[in-house]
Amino acid sequence: MTSSYSTDIVIFGGGIAGLWLLNSLRNQGYNAILLETGKLGCGQTLASQGIIHGGLKYALNGALSGAANIISDMPARWRSCLSGDAEIDLRGCRVLSDHYYMWSDSGFRSKLKTFLGSKSLSGRVSAIDKKDYPDFFKAATVEGTLYKLPDFVVDTNSLLEVLFEKQREWIFKINPGSYTFERNDSGLVNAISFHDKNTHFTIEAQRFIFSAGKGNQQLIDDANLREPKSQLRPLNMVYVKAKNLPSVFVHCIGDSFSLTPKLTITSHTDANGETVWYLGGEIAESGVGKDADVQVHSAQKLLTTLFPWIDFEATQFHCFSIDRAEANVNNNYRPEDAYFIEESNVLVAWPTKLTLTPNLADNITKHLATNGIIPTNTLTEQDLRTVLEPAKLATSRWD
Ligand SMILES: Cc1cc2nc3c(=O)[nH]c(=O)nc-3n(C[C@H](O)[C@H](O)[C@H](O)COP(=O)(O)OP(=O)(O)OC[C@H]3O[C@@H](n4cnc5c(N)ncnc54)[C@H](O)[C@@H]3O)c2cc1C
């Protein structure tokens, strides 16, 4: 016999986008559930550096681009969630650094780029007086200029924990390929049908949201959607572990024409209490396709060049490949904002950046209201617990 369950919204994918959307929709009275094929956060979210960007990174050519403009409101938006004053209560999410820094070395072009970048965001970026440098840069043995940005860094583990804990009873693990999408007589997706070895059941809903990052493409194919197109942009990320590393949060602006920082560092603590430096920026982009030993060697060389006053002797280096997954709406460039599109009752969504997730939730909420999707009362989603297992949180790569 086939059991049938119902809810308002089914979300696929439990990274930041899916977990934030689940919280947002349930806070607004919608009945919503989240289905995850792996562990929550195991995609890009726990691999991210957790920087809540204020836009400078996207203004390094001196112009306040659309992306820089849109993202510049985000730090304030996140801060109100972190202090419990907004629709999503993120109290309990740890802030790893309340500020982010930008270090421009003495090269002419890098100084110019930094200067132009800071001009275009005037009032939001300030050069720091040497006497006020954090300890890490006070010890610098090379010339440079340090700027303080409005960006800050969140601990993605505690971020996901907070979002998970509030809605854990509505978050389920599913097996890849264990379901098919059903369409009604009008050709609209109205249910998913599960056909594991021993169980057969369907879940009906008003709308389905795909927020599965890289997994969206498979879902788009499974649901037979015409749109949208997705794109992957790969990275080769390095992390560095040692007991005595100081914490540092900085973009190092390079002396090339690239608009990507030469190095973007965030600092974390692993399960053994060791400090982890997580390295993004140009090193991760130019490292794509390189063997692990070659990439590690590049990172060692870069760190010793940029920070000659730090001893990396007892440091372990590791690297891994990961894709950034986004909508492909602009000829392979990164979209400027969070993105979603609806087709046949299915919304396909990518936040584009962790930072832009609140925009994604706002835009989807508005879209649902505009399309007359309102919460219903006669649902049987709570009974899903008899047929689906709860999903679990993933951990960081260095754990
Ligand atoms: C190395 C790196 C560093 C980054 N740093 C930053 C940063 O500092 N600041 C910033 O703003 N952004 C950053 N980003 C971007 C940011 O991480 C992503 O934009 C964001 O995490 C995407 O979240 P998501 O929920 O859409 O996808 P993901 O986090 O990838 O989550 C997708 C989830 O869907 C699940 N899934 C897959 N297929 C299915 C399916 N068929 N059914 C159900 N579930 C499925 C996956 O298991 C996964 O849990 C970074 C990205 C990378 C890769």
pLDDT in tens, 139-151: 999 988 898 998 9
Asked whether residue 257 carries a pLDDT value surpassing 70, the answer given is no
Average of per-residue pLDDT across 125-154: 91
51-60, 179-188, 278-287, 347-356, range with the lowest pLDDT: 51-60
Checking if the pLDDT of 259 tops 80, the result is no
Judge: domain 3-45+159-228+330-390, CATH 3.50.50.60: yes
pLDDT of residue 131: 94
pLDDT the model gives residue 72: 87
Would you state the pLDDT for residue 66? Answer: 73
Among candidates 112, 192, 101, 178, which has minimal Cα distance to 147? 101
Residue of the CA atom closest to atom 52 of ligand 1: 48
CA of 21 to the centre of ligand 1 (A): 14
**Angstrom distance (rounded) from CA 251 to CA 151:** 11
Task: Compute the distance between CA of residue 188 and CA of residue 145 in angstroms, rounded to an integer.
Answer: 57
Q: Provide CB contacts within 8 A for 283, sequence distance 6+.
A: 238, 262, 263, 298, 299, 302
Nearest atom of ligand 1 to the alpha carbon of 43 = 30
Whether the CB of 351 sits within 6 Å of ligand 1 = yes
> Computed over its alpha carbons, how large is the radius of gyration of the chain?
22
Q: Using an 8 Å Cβ cutoff, are 18 and 38 in contact? A: no
**How many angstroms is it from 110 CA to the middle of ligand 1?**
31
Structure confidence at residue 187 as a pLDDT band (50, 70, 90) = very high
Of all atoms in ligand 1, which is nearest to the CA of residue 50? 8
Residue 351 has pLDDT above 90, yes or no: yes
Residues in a beta bridge with 105: 144
pLDDT at 276: 98
Does 187 or 65 have the greater pLDDT score?
A: 187
Query: Phi and psi of 366, rounded to 5°?
Result: -60, -45
Q: Nearest 5 degrees, angle CA 336-CA 283-CA 146?
A: 80
The pLDDT mean for the chain works out to: 92
> One fold for both 3-45+159-228+330-390 and 96-152+232-326?
no
Given a contact cutoff of 8 angstroms between Cβ atoms, the answer to whether 317 and 149 are in contact is no
* CB atoms inside a 10 Å sphere around CB 350: 29
Tokens 């270090």 belong to which residue?
103
Q: What is the pLDDT of residues 153-182, one digit of tens each?
A: 999 999 999 999 999 999 999 999 999 999
Where are the chain's structural domains? 3-45+159-228+330-390, 96-152+232-326
Report how far residue 247's alpha carbon sits from residue 135's, in angstroms, rounded to the nearest whole number.
Answer: 10
Answer whether 350 contacts ligand 1 (Cβ < 6 A): yes
Q: Is the CB of 47 under 6 A from ligand 1?
A: yes
Strand ranges (DSSP E) for 106-259? 126-127, 144-149, 152-154, 171-173, 179-183, 189-194, 201-204, 207-210, 230-242, 250-253
pLDDT the model gives residue 62? 63
**Which atom of ligand 1 sits closest to the CA of residue 212?**
34
Determine if ligand 1 sits within 6 Å of the CB of residue 218: yes
Residues in the chain: 399
Interval 217-226 mean pLDDT: 97
- What is the whole-number distance in angstroms between the Cα of residue 185 and the centre of ligand 1? 34
Kindly give the distance from the C-alpha atom of residue 253 to the centroid of ligand 1, in angstroms, as a whole number: 26
Confidence (pLDDT) at 64? 64
CA of 215 to the centre of ligand 1 (A): 10
Closest CA to 69 of 61, 60, 77, 59: 59
- Residue 1 confidence (pLDDT): 61
Q: How confident is the model at residue 325 (pLDDT cuts 50, 70, 90)?
A: very high
Q: Of 320, 360, 333, give the one whose Cα is nearest residue 231.
A: 333
Cβ–Cβ contacts within 10 Å for residue 111, how many?
Answer: 16
Is residue 61 scored above 80 in pLDDT?
no
Q: State the distance from the centre of ligand 1 to the C-alpha of 165, rounded, in angstroms.
A: 19
Cβ pair 348, 338 in contact under 8 A = no
Place of tokens 């992390």: 239
Per cent of the chain over pLDDT 70 is 94
CATH class for the region spanning 96-152+232-326: alpha beta
pLDDT exceeds cutoff 80 at 335: yes
pLDDT confidence of residue 382:
73
